[in-house]
Amino acid sequence: MTRLLLIGPPGAGKGTQAVRLSEACGVPAISTGDIFRANVAEETELGLKAKEFMDAGKYVPDSLTNDLVRSRLHEADVAGGFLLDGYPRTTAQVDELDDILAAGGHSLDVVVLLVADSDEIVTRLSKRALDQGRSDDTEEVIRHRLDVYEEQTAPLIDLYQSRDLVVTVDGLGSVDAVTTRITDALLERGIVLTLN
């Protein structure tokens, strides 16, 4: 069983690496965005509540996010492990995740922290915004997102480092190079991945 958490700034390639790692581990990649979208599409009770906040452009409150994640982590495909991306985002959510996992006699195995130079990320996201015609993703907006990420994530990283769960990996370079760095870091923690 492998229970991983993937953390990194916007533009560090978390989504791409999450897919690769989940395939290599044989566990589902779970992101809060995917959970929200699936529950909204299925019109579940929790999904409809989340939709009210999303439609209003507001953050979905921790209590609702926690309920959605708890529900997802109790699905059958998660029995063999998972890779979480985008949750937890707050120390309160860390406590909730701990409780969810402890109820099943489990805990996180590793937290993979993707790091990348801010200027490189700004360049990468600016190019992506241009390619996708997203004129709202200006350098100022991107830098603000990076600041918010740093503010929100620093306490989580400190907490997980105090538990000796964090492996730090350079998120820049080719997709294959980053994947190799992650698999090497996980191997040092005794987690063997089979990449195709």
Alpha-carbon distance values, 45 to 41, 64, 97, 122 (Å): 11, 11, 21, 38
Alpha-carbon distance values, 66 to 16, 47, 163, 174 (Å): 24, 12, 22, 34
- Residue with more model confidence, 129 or 196: 129
Residue 196 lies in a domain: no
Q: What is the extent of the structural domain holding 170?
A: 2-188
Residue 110 lies in a domain: yes
Residue 82 lies in a domain: yes
Helix, strand, or coil here: 28? Answer: coil
Q: What is the pLDDT of residue 7?
A: 93
Percent of the chain past pLDDT 70, that is, above it, reads 97
Residue 70 lies in a domain: yes
Per-chain mean pLDDT for the chain:
89
Question: pLDDT of 125-154, one tens digit each?
Answer: 888 888 887 766 788 888 888 888 888 888
Residue 10 lies in a domain: yes
Q: Which of 3, 70, 124, 128 is catalytic?
A: 128
- Sheet with strand 29-31: strands edge to edge: 29-31, 81-85, 2-7, 110-115, 166-170
Residues 44-66, mean pLDDT to the nearest whole number: 86
Using only the alpha carbons of the chain, give its radius of gyration.
17
Given a contact cutoff of 8 angstroms between Cβ atoms, the answer to whether 35 and 44 are in contact is no
Q: What is the pLDDT of residue 136?
A: 65
Residue 193 lies in a domain: no
Q: How confident is the model at residue 196 (pLDDT cuts 50, 70, 90)?
A: low
Helix, strand, or coil here: 61? Answer: coil
Q: What is the pLDDT of residue 20?
A: 92
Number of domains in the chain: 1
CATH of the domain at 56: 3.40.50.300
- Verify whether residue 128 is a known catalytic residue: yes
Question: pLDDT of 170-189, one tens digit each?
Answer: 998 999 999 999 999 999 99
- Verify whether residue 89 is a known catalytic residue: yes
Over 80: is that where the pLDDT of 58 sits? Answer: no
Residue 172 lies in a domain: yes
Supply the pTM of this predicted model: 0.87
Question: pLDDT of 9-29, one tens digit each?
Answer: 888 888 899 999 998 888 999
Q: How many helices (H) and strands (E) does the chain have?
A: 8, 5
Is 153 labeled as ligand-binding? no
Q: Which of 14, 49, 72, 181 is catalytic?
A: 14
Residue 14 lies in a domain: yes
Is 189 labeled as ligand-binding? no
Q: Which of 3, 72, 127, 134 is catalytic?
A: 134
- Verify whether residue 127 is a known catalytic residue: no
